[in-house]
Structure 1
Amino acid sequence: MNRKLCLTTLLLMLAGASAPLSGLADQFADQRLTLDELRQKYGDPDGRIAEIGGVEVYYKDQGEGPAILMIHGSRSSLRTWDRVAPELLDRYRVVRYDLPPNGLSGPVSDEAVDRMEPADLAAGLLDHVGLEQVTCVGVSSGGTTCMYLAATYPDRVNRLIMSNSPSDPVTTDHVNHPPAFKAALEEFVETGFESENFINLFLDFYSGDPRRISEQTRREYYDFNRRVKEPNPIAMIGLVADHEKTRKAMASVRAPALLIWGGRDALLIPASAGTLARYLENTQVSTVFMPDVGHYPPLESPVRFAQIVAAYLEAATPAGFD
């Protein structure tokens, strides 16, 4: 696989794009799931739907106490936090949501794209659930969305926790994909369909230890990523494609920040945490490395991740916040 193809594919995956690069995806129409089918299969009594800016947002609001907003990465869902949230609910109120049009959230119209950005959607959800201020926790591009929320609505974020989130436009010069994963990537680029084999190889590659990724998680990733194609698949994803805009936003963040970094991330290597910390130049930044974990710490080591979050929240007293 040449570098151009690899980079294009990687950006599509990180952005959560479901549109194919060719016209062949219709051959998989019978294997795709509609939003109604996904809601029937994965909806549960704790789930709620809010209309934010004309977009249906599926969310969960559980627990009592200081509030935490959790934002998942691209190509994922609020289920990223299924084994993290329960570890915190005895002390905290945890709100998490599916970034539209991922998970069980609705599609994003052109009008919605014109009306709001990812941070506006997050702020709208906070309004809906009656929260003035939160700790925002995000993994991968979800951390980028948290950063934009802290930059755009500084009074609403008292602490920022980012896990394996990009600081610059993603490059793949350093990434060495195994042959089987390369072949699966090429097939994905050709067809636009993410097969079970592709999902499994993807999760294996971006894990520190693939054995930690449960069969249930693998099935959920497969199901949610074979959803019928939606318009504007990446509009509500926090991206760093505009380097100047991102650097300016990071420099404006004042909320104290914690970086939780999986040290075996093949894409965002440990040095990436240092770069991100430098870009958050006007706030206090702490970093905790999880050396045996890959790109998705909440999936691989949820209890340990929750313990780190709780320890930080219990120890930190940000200046200017009660």
Structure 2
Amino acid sequence: MTLPRIRLLAIPAAILAASVSPVAMAQDAARNPASSQATAAHPYLTIEELRRKYADAQSRYAEIGGLKIHYKDEGPRNAPVLFMVHGSESSLRTWDRIALALKKRYRIVRYDIPGYGLSDGATDAAVKALQPTDIPVQLLTRLGVSKVTFVGVSSGGTMGMYLAARRPDLVERLILSNTPSDPVDTSHLVMPKSFTDAVDRSKQTGFRDQAFWNEFLSYFAGDATRISQQTRREYYDFYRRVPEKNLVALVARIGDGKQASVEMAKVRQPTFLIWGGADHLLPESAANAIARYLKSTQISRVIMPDVGHYPPLEVPERFAQLLAAYVEAGTPNLPAQADH
């Protein structure tokens, strides 16, 4: 089955669109190439510089649709596969601490969506040739993986729902965290002045500085002290990448929700919602909404009232425990797990 090209909306990108549009920045760079070069005010990093700084011994690359896709494949090859996908404005590093906790008992595969992390940005040719779910399908095929538990946060979870609808043979179950199911409304958000000042500054300068990312991560956390200084520095580094023309082209997005609702209704796989109830943008009511759209599935859920939009980033140990409990004990009639 070929999945229709669906325009799905990535969550915090709604906030960022109100400040600086990466597409507009890229269009400006195309008109004036010098504007995309690193300067004192706009210290951009190229993808090559980011790879030199952040690639590690587990980094691998696969060429898909003419794009160099960064991924990691860790853990026993005969173990059940957890396939983890990050959201917009994130990278596969979202899953670092969860992978560390679980990779002795699971095979963990994760990748950077094109334009994010250490993957190439989507070219015009790739946008024409690929839809978002093509990347995970082709990557898993190359790795010889035929069955996964899909784990996604934010728009990464949206990717999972569409992959489950497209390839029910491939996706055994879904674990979704703070994932949208409706077009995202930001009108209710009340941001602190420090954040609105950072947004205004990014509008004026066309650049999101370290202070912006500090405010962003703090605002979307239930407890800002849980977000480490290392994570804050990494966000700044990854998102001062030279602007991409097609940044969100291969991100799973909800769009107007019409086709999204059709695809979600096709999902049959058991689904576990691990939800941050202190998410300003997608609170518990959003978890109730996604359960209504996934009307043909067996839904389980845990709401963590003290956690924000990025549970795997904010409380990775709790997330890993819940994930493993669901896979190993919460879902019936599944293959035996690998030895711990």
Q: TM-score range by the shorter chain?
A: over 0.9
Alpha-carbon RMSD: 2.3
The answer to whether 1:140 aligns with 2:175 is no
1:50 is matched with which residue?
A: 62
The within-5 A match list for 1:9-158 is 10=15, 12=17, 17=22, 19-20=24-25, 26=35, 29-30=38-39, 31-64=43-76, 65-158=79-172
Whole-angstrom CA distance in 2 between matches of 1:15 and 1:63: 39
For 1:281, the aligned partner's letter is K
| Matched-pair contact (CA < 8 Å) for 2:164–2:269 | yes
Hey, what does 1:4 align to over in structure 2?
none
C-alpha displacement of 1:321: 7.7
Percent identity between the two aligned chains = 51
Q: Which amino acid aligns with 2:38?
A: A
Q: Deviation of residue 22 (structure 1)?
A: 9.3
Contact 1:164 1:268 in 2 (8 A): yes
Q: How many equivalent pairs are there?
A: 316
Give yes or no for contact 1:13–1:74 (8 Å, CA) kept in 2: no
Partner of 2:277: 263
Aligned partners of 1:261 and 1:273 also within 8 Å: yes
User: Residues of 2 paired with 1:313 and 1:18: CA distance?
Assistant: 39
CA deviation profile, 1:123-150 (whole Å, cap 9, x unmatched): 1111111101101100011111111111
User: Would the alpha carbon gap of residues 18 and 47 (structure 1) be closer, same or farther in structure 2, given more than 3 Å must change?
Assistant: farther
CA distance in 1, matches of 2:36, 2:132: 32
1:215-230 equivalences under 5 Å are 215-230=229-244
Post-superposition offset of 1:173: 2.3
Match for 1:287: what amino acid?
R
Q: Is the 8 A contact 1:135 1:157 kept in 2?
A: yes
CA deviation string 1:266-307 (max 9, x = no partner)? 110111100001000111111111111100001110010000
Cα 1:8–1:286 change in 2 (3 A) is closer
Give unpaired runs (5+ residues) of structure 1.
1-6
Matching residue of 1:233: 247
Which has the higher mean CA deviation after the structures are superposed, 167-176 or 205-214?
A: 167-176
Q: CA deviation at 1:58?
A: 0.2
| Equivalent-residue separation in structure 1 for 2:44 and 2:194 (angstroms) | 24
Contact 2:23 2:245 in 1 (8 A): no
- The answer to whether the 8 A contact 1:15-1:234 is kept is no
Q: Does the Cα contact within 8 Å between 1:207 and 1:265 map onto a contact in 2?
A: yes
The answer on whether the counterparts of 1:47 and 1:59 sit within 8 Å (CA) in structure 2 is yes
Q: Is the 8 A contact 2:81 2:107 kept in 1?
A: yes
Contact 2:213 2:236 in 1 (8 A): yes
Q: 3-state SS of the aligned residue for 2:38?
A: helix
Separation in 1, partners of 2:303, 2:244: 36
TM-score w.r.t. length of structure 2: 0.88
Q: Does 2:200 match 1:186?
A: yes
SS in 2 for 1:288: strand
* Cα 1:15/1:132, change in 2 over 3 Å: farther
Distance 2:19 2:71 in 1: 22
